Amino acid sequence: MLTLLQYPLRRTLDWFERLFDRPFGAKWNPLRQPGTLAFFFFWVSAVTGIYVFILFDTSIGGAFLSVESMTEQWYLGGVMRSLHRYASDAMVLTAIVHLAREFSLDRYRGVRWFSWFTGIPVIWLLFLSGISGYWLVWDQLAQYVAIGSMEWIDWLGIFGEPVANNFLSRDSLDDRFFSLLVFIHIFGPLFLLFMMWIHILRINRSRTNPPRGLAIGSFVMLLALSFAHPAVSHGPADLGMVPAVLNLDWFFMALYPAFDAWGPGALWAIAFGGSLFMCIMPWLPPLKRAPAPEVLLEQCNGCTRCFEDCPYGAVSMQPRTDGRPFAKEATVNADLCTACGICVGACPMSTPFRHSGGLKTGIDFQDPSLDSVQTNMADAMQKAREGRNREQPAVLVIGCDHGADLSAIGAGNVASLKLSCIGMLPPSFLDYALAGDGVDGVLLTGCGDGDCFHRFGVQWTEDRMAGLRDPYLRKRVPRERLHACWSTEPDALAAELKTFSDRLAAQGEHEETGDE
Ligand code: HEM
Ligand code: SF4
Ligand code: SF4
């Protein structure tokens, strides 16, 4: 059932992501990195929150007036207050897009259950932090939200005395209770930050900062909104009357009208039921996990490249156990491994040139082993060579499980090879493919730029090809016979393949290397 939801959601998000790619480019597209933006908006809320708190009077009598006088200062206090509010709203929005995106990309099952699972308390804490902030203004909106929230809590009956009684009459709310509300608004965000840290704990080199341009652009946008449409209060709270017209902040308060209509029981059922359902989602159904790779100690020299490149911290370096003259050896924690194969692509022993009688590398899967990948690659190259002619050079397309569908290509002069992730490809395999009687050109393809299913497959591949990351592609490999297409769109891949093939034909490379 969830898969039925996933597909249309992915199609919809994908449509918007590509729309936003046009003005922003893939790297600065806010829809492609909502998690980093949520972090950024947290920091904006935190910094502006400290400023606002300095000017805030924490007593029930002075709270409203202190916020009012802050707001009157349109150039600083008012802007800080508005930034604080709008950054919190933006955090809700980006967190929801992030959640929907991870779900639609199927990045929530298997070993990723941890980030998904810990994301759920993050949502609760985010709402607790935001809603408790609205209480502090102590205007009519605060009154409405505070009473609604307390009635909601009272329905559970965990406190002997109903908490909502604190709001019964003008005199029933005292400074002590108000201090409790202030306390919740300070510690809620602190816990939120703590949970955000737990949330990304298992992710190696997690990206918590958006690219600088996107951060500046988002900040300028919030600033412009703060000047154009400053955050203002409603009239002061008056417990003797029911607030009339309210402008709800729909990001945080969408459930309150539902509360009025359906009552607290239904709302708890939605909130708790929804959270529980989300908790078990990673196992509905559980991801069939491919076995993790194993380290072959006799090939491992402890160089740490697999450790550096693993996106999930599944590789660790341990003291040597086999007496060979190296300080360290790699070990794999299968519980953290997504079986992406990036470590296999990183190992300097993963070379098709060095071996006779089968390729043995430092870290490898049982199935498919890198040796079988090499065999499949040799078969594919043979097929492409057999199908080539003067106008159609032999091209090998190497893609991955999560990129564009390769089944539609692979006729005549073009053959394909699929890996679990493009980062599993050792650069020396490209050298091998383009040397001697290999193929005329290699086209690499995979997930969208900056959007790799296994996080770093595309980036590490690009860095290895550009000589920025070990193991790098040797200088002697003719770059004009290599091409990359980072798109999951079959049409985009087909178009790039045609252009690349035409370019190779014009270069006449296949005639020089030819074995026609
Ligand atoms: C304020 C809220 C949140 C923030 C700031 C946040 C931030 C992040 C960040 C920075 C990452 C690492 C991305 C990377 O480096 O590849 C991440 C990963 C992830 N987040 Fe969140 N997140 C939030 C809420 C949520 C929620 C509510 C869920 C779902 C319940 C969720 C699910 C995930 C998952 C499944 C991953 C793992 C992705 C992977 O393994 O590739 N997040 N989040
Ligand atoms: S297969 Fe991927 S997740 Fe597993 S150890 Fe290797 S790099 Fe890490
Ligand atoms: S990359 Fe290969 S040689 Fe280096 S530590 Fe990992 S397994 Fe050992």
Most confident of 84-98, 133-147, 356-370: 84-98
Q: Determine the pLDDT at residue 516.
A: 37
Level-2 CATH architecture, domain 2-240+253-283: Up-down Bundle (1.20)
Q: pLDDT higher for 117 or 289?
A: 117
C-beta of 342 in contact with ligand 2 (< 6 A):
yes
Write out pLDDT tens, residues 345-376: 999 999 988 666 789 999 999 989 999 999 99
The phi, psi pair for 328, rounded to 5°, reads -125, 165
H helices within 289-440, ranges in order? Answer: 305-309, 342-346, 370-387, 427-434
The architecture that CATH gives domain 368-513 is 3-Layer(aba) Sandwich (3.40)
With CA atoms as reference, report the closest residue to 181 among 199, 163, 202, 168: 163
- The confidence score (pLDDT) of residue 512 equals 47
Task: List phi, psi (to 5°) of 484.
Answer: -125, 140
Domain chopping of the chain, boundaries:
2-240+253-283, 289-350+359-366, 368-513
Q: Where are the alpha helices (DSSP H) in 281-338?
A: 305-309
* pLDDT classification of 515: cutoffs 50, 70, 90: very low
| Ligand 3 centre distance from Cα of residue 441 (Å) | 29
| Ligand 3 atom 6: residue of nearest CA | 306
Q: For ligand 1, which residues put their CB under 6 angstroms from it?
A: 35-36, 38-39, 91, 95, 98-99, 102, 107-108, 112, 115-116, 119-120, 122-123, 126, 196, 199-200, 203, 206-208, 278, 455
pTM, rounded to two decimals: 0.90
> Token pair for residue 472?
């790098």
Confidence of residue 441 (pLDDT cuts 50, 70, 90): very high
Whether 511 has a pLDDT exceeding 70, the answer reads no
| Residue 44 alpha carbon to ligand 1 centre in Å | 18
Report how far residue 123's alpha carbon sits from residue 120's, in angstroms, rounded to the nearest whole number. Answer: 5
CA distance 205 to 207: 6
CA 92/CA 151 separation, integer angstroms: 24
- Mean pLDDT along residues 374-403: 93
Token output for 441: 């050109």
Closest ligand to the CA of 113:
1
Residue among 354, 304, 357, 305 at smallest CA distance from 326? 304
Q: Looking at ligand 2, which residue's alpha carbon is closest to its atom 8?
A: 310
> Does domain 289-350+359-366 fall into CATH 3.30.70.20?
yes
Distance between CA atoms of residues 57 and 288, nearest Å: 55
Phi then psi dihedrals of residue 244, to 5 deg: -90, -90
Do the beta carbons of residue 56 and residue 66 sit within 8 Å? Answer: yes
pLDDT tens for residues 291-328?
Answer: 999 999 999 999 999 999 999 999 999 999 999 999 99
Tell me the pLDDT of the chain averaged across its residues.
92
Task: Tell how strand 395-400 and strand 441-446 pair up.
Answer: parallel
Helix ranges (H only) for 29-62 are 34-55
The whole-number pLDDT of residue 355 equals: 61
How many Å apart are CA 343 and CA 350, to the nearest integer?
Answer: 10
Say how many Å lie between the CA of residue 466 and the centre of ligand 3: 21
Domains 289-350+359-366 and 368-513 equal at CATH topology level: no
Residue 447 vs residue 174, higher pLDDT: 447
- The response to whether residue 427 sits with its C-beta less than 6 Å from ligand 2 reads no
pLDDT, tens only, 177-223: 889 999 999 999 999 999 999 999 999 999 999 999 999 999 999 99
**Nearest CA, atom 6, ligand 2:** 343
Burial 225-248 (b: 16+ CB within 10 A, else e): bbeeeebebbeebebeeebeebee
Query: Ligand 1 centre and the CA of 114: distance in Å?
Result: 10
Backbone CA torsion sign across 473, 478, 481, 485: positive
DSSP β-bridge partners for residue 84? none
pLDDT at position 172 is 73
Pocket probe mutation, ligand 2, options 340, 424, 452, 456, max atoms within 8 Å of Cβ: 340
The rounded radius of gyration (Å) of the Cα atoms in the chain is 29
Expressed in angstroms, the distance from the first to the final Cα of the chain is 52
Distance 341 CA to ligand 3 centre (A): 13
Tell whether the model's pLDDT for residue 168 goes beyond 60. Answer: yes
